[in-house]
Amino acid sequence: MKPRLVAKLPASFLVAALAVVALLIWAAVATRPDDRWHVFFLDVGEGDAILIQSPSGQKVLIDGGPSPAVITDALGRRLPFWDRKLDLVVLTHAHEDHLTGLLEVLRRYQVQQVLEPGYPHTSAMYLQFLQTIQEKGIAYRVARAGQRLDLAGAYLTVLHPGDSFLSSTASDLNNNSVVLRLVIGKVAILLPGDVDEPAQAAILSRRGELKSTVLKVSHHGSRTALTGNFLPAISPAVAIVCVGADNRFGHPAPETMEQLRAAGVQVYRTDQNGSIEIITDGTGYTVRTGR
């Protein structure tokens, strides 16, 4: 009987295989939900993309930024690789720096529900967005002020748009953005899309609760991001500006940054700090930056 020949795998192959296994284990542990809420203001360039993760594993994505590749990479780094479910996707408005990445998200992920303002718009990208929602049978909801979306241990309130859309403003798309306030215990985070003066005045006139611990500064910190009594009504401790480095719009505007500085607000910027994470248990909070 001839002896059996057993091929030996090279040591380098075994080391590489073990490294891959270790990496997968690390990724599984690193992306596993814990007992705190995580709100990521993702560094997607000149645009918005905000990911909310609950302790129980619920996931909400608000806007998708201007690049499909960037948003899918950012989500892949923060969500378990085996979990392709998003409980809620919100489109604040149909400008490309908020919408473009969401088209790929709708294709790749199992999205349970979409919330958007429903403002009439005929761009090819927005029409494709609506068509994809219909084709995939995703639950669809139009946002209106006064709605409340309950999460496990927290909730989102819709502050804008109202029952009728604003018109004849400098940008009707911006001023009919979905504005959300996330409330987690004693910590609140205001997410105002790209609204400026007309919408901010309308929100103030409704006399809803605006005071928030954290403010995502409207419209990438443009000069009309904080008009009238909008900033005093919010009274944030922390402000986050989602903005691209060396962008052609000159965002954030120096006058907006000065408003925040004069109010004693701690400011973080995605162009300088990378992705910014708010971690909270509903009582206190921690800010973690990518750089």
Rounded distance between C-alpha atoms, residue 224 and residue 259, angstroms: 11
The three-state secondary structure class of 286 is strand
Q: Which pLDDT score, from 0 to 100, does residue 34 have?
A: 83
Q: Where are the extended beta strands (E) located within the chain?
A: 37-41, 50-53, 59-62, 85-86, 88-90, 110-111, 113-116, 139-142, 148-151, 154-160, 179-184, 187-191, 214-216, 238-241, 266-269, 276-280, 285-289
Q: Which pLDDT score, from 0 to 100, does residue 285 have?
A: 98
Count of residues making up the chain: 291
Q: Which pLDDT score, from 0 to 100, does residue 160 have?
A: 99
- Look at strands 59-62 and 50-53 and give their pairing: antiparallel
Domains and CATH numbers, the chain: 34-289 (3.60.15.10)
pLDDT above 70: percentage of residues in the chain: 89
What pTM value is reported for the model?
0.89
- Name the stretches of the chain with pLDDT < 70: 1-33
Q: CA 146, 177, 226, 43 torsion: positive or negative?
A: positive
Q: Which pLDDT score, from 0 to 100, does residue 24 have?
A: 47
Q: What DSSP designation does 183 have?
A: E
Q: Which pLDDT score, from 0 to 100, does residue 22 have?
A: 47
Q: Which pLDDT score, from 0 to 100, does residue 125 have?
A: 98
Residue 215 identity: L
CA geometry: angle 115, 86, 67, nearest 5 deg: 80
